[in-house]
Structure 1
Amino acid sequence: GHVVLQTTGYLRTLNWYLEHLGLIVSDFLYYEGRRERGPVMSFVRCDRGRTPTDHHTLALTLGPSDRYVHSAYEVTDLDALAAGGEHLLREGYRRSWGIGRHIQGSQIFDYWRDPDGFLVEHFTDGDLFDSTLEPGWAPMTASGLAQWGPPATKDFLGIAPGRASLAELRSIVTALRSDDNEFDLDRLRGLLKVASS
């Protein structure tokens, strides 16, 4: 269905995908109170003209390191999503967040971590748009990630104690010491506000 990537060069990366692959933006997210600084996340879809296509095939987000965040796999319906979750539980996976419905894209989602910590999403019932839809703009908040469902977990937000959060902390320090990226102290404040919202 889609892949989510984090990058320190968000605008440069977004423009590359738009220019070279002909993708178009469905929605932009910005840090609350910082819209004038521009977006920090975008949901990007294929441009198929008047033929409707998924809300996003790619999601890009600004962060302190260049990394793969997760991939998402579309299933037929809510029954398949729930049955898949039961299977993953028996196989040693643990639920990261879900079941719920996103706001941007409107997908019913269910996030899981495999035994190695890799994040995957199953989703169903997402929005389809043609090329006439203009991009939406919304503040990025943890509570604004879902229409319904449980609150976003610390695991999903990347702030649960553990090796992954320590690695992210090291990435933050490295990014703040560098002037060759878009992740600065103001963007860190915005990101921290998302985690507590």
Structure 2
Amino acid sequence: MRDADIRSALHARLRSEHGSGVGTRYVDELGLCGTVRVDVAVVNGTLSGYELKSDRDTLRRLPTQIEYYSKVLDHATLVVGEEHYVRTNGMPNLPLSWGIIVASPRLSDVHLEEVRAAEMSERLDPFAIAQLLWRDEVLSELDERDAAGGMRSKPRRLLSDRLARLLELDELRSVVRERLKARATWRQPPPHE
């Protein structure tokens, strides 16, 4: 069972659960804080992420992924191969807020069994969330709030920090989700010199 098999089964499950309407966007390899990538993200009324670990994968990067996912994602779920799950006795080092789905091979497909539902992260970091936005998106949000003065030549990191300090967490989460859903492309434009 390969990552591609698990990803395909997960996409089918997510589309069944969330649909494919305008209010939901699916993103493969969503970058977080320039450090990690979420294998599959679902953007709708919340921002949920799924980290795939087939039995062929190592769990070596998981602690770093947990750290960043927990700062940015409302809900995080580990989709793990059956052997990893059994070998680690049910993933005891995974935060309790994280969901767990066990992937098992079944004849010609992959069976996904939810062992634990994801709960809302209690470690959300406004600055990390604001970093999901591209420079022009952050500037546009600051402009809408008359808070872009003196910021146009500043690096994106400072713009993100200003937006994170300006908005309450729930408003920031909403703004970021709407911007992510509205993107026409997922290739970040080159930075302005």
TM-score normalized by the length of structure 2: 0.29
Structure with bigger gyration radius: 2
Question: Whose helix proportion is higher, 1 or 2?
Answer: 2
Task: Report 1 or 2 for greater relative contact order, CA contacts < 8 Å, sequence distance ≥ 6.
Answer: 1
Question: Whose strand proportion is higher, 1 or 2?
Answer: 1
TM-score normalized by the length of structure 1: 0.29
